[in-house]
Structure 1
Amino acid sequence: MIDVILPAPLLRLARVDNPVSLALEGEATQRHLLDALEARFPALRGTTRDRHSGQRRAYVRFFACNRDLSDASPDAPLPEAVVDGREPFLVVGALSGG
């Protein structure tokens, strides 16, 4: 099981609490993880990725194992610690201010 930590607005939208645990079939990649998340919680479709292009939304970042995975290929394997459940996959909304 892979644990996903979502920001509060997405938790409210999906009506769930953190962590969201997902079992993946096949390869453990960002694309497959986000596909599984959106399949389980259809209200989240289009919130982390553009519905048409599949590209990550500009103000959403992905982190795991103290690394920013936002610009990694969506088909790159997730870190082993995420796959075996030792570390969560974090979806983070951008922070701004001045």
Structure 2
Amino acid sequence: MTYVVTEACIRCKYMDCVEVCPVDCFYEGENMLVIHPDECIDCGVCEPECPAEAILPDTDERAAQWVEFNRKYAQAWPNITRKGEPPADADEWKGKPGKMAYFSEKPGHP
């Protein structure tokens, strides 16, 4: 089992989850984070830390489509091990639906 990041992270990217991850399995894109599903140890400490409620266990039916998405971008983006600053307008994007239209494939800058 693994945890995955969903579209709720897009344009929020709070990064509270990064600080608590014991295996450093978060990877940073320009406007969201992903979890490498093959590195996640299923400890679950990241899920309650996410203010955007963007992290789900892969056993949740809403997470099924996100496992391969997280794997793909974890292999392309840089690993992140420390919390950075969220976007200035993160709170404005929190909870908005349809954020996939704003997704960027560009890597982040850890």
Bigger relative contact order (CA 8 A; separation at least 6): 2
- The TM-score with structure 1 as length reference comes to 0.31
> Which has more strand, going by share of residues?
1
TM-score (norm 2): 0.28
